[in-house]
Amino acid sequence: MDTLGQVDTRRDADEALVALYTAHYRSLVRLAALLLHDTAAAEDVVQDAFVAMHDSWRRLRDTDKALAYLRQAVVNRSRSRLRHLKVVERKTPPATPESAQIHGGHVPSAESGALHALERQHVMAALRGLPHRQREVLVLRYYADMSEAQIAEAMGISPGAVKSHASRGIAALRQTMELSS
Integer Cα distance of 149 and 155 in angstroms: 10
Taking CB under 8 A as the criterion, which residues in 71-110 touch other proteins?
Answer: 71, 76, 80
Integer Cα distance of 142 and 7 in angstroms: 40
**142 binds other proteins per the rule CB under 8 A:** yes
DSSP 91: T
**Up-side HSE of residue 37: CA atoms within 13 Å toward CB?**
18
Question: Which ranges in the chain belong to alpha helices (H)?
Answer: 4-36, 39-55, 57-60, 63-90, 97-104, 115-128, 132-142, 148-155, 159-180
Site string for other proteins, 143-172 (x = CB under 8 A): xx-x--xxx-xx-xxx-xx--xx--x-x--
**Binding span for other proteins by CB under 8 A among 84-92, 95-103, 134-142:** 134-142
Q: Which residues bind other proteins (CB under 8 A)?
A: 2, 10, 14, 17-18, 21, 24-26, 29-31, 33-34, 39, 42-43, 46-48, 50-52, 54-56, 59, 64-65, 67-68, 71, 76, 80, 116, 119-121, 123-124, 127, 131, 133, 138-139, 142-144, 146, 149-151, 153-154, 156-158, 160-161, 164-165, 168, 170, 173-174, 177-178, 181
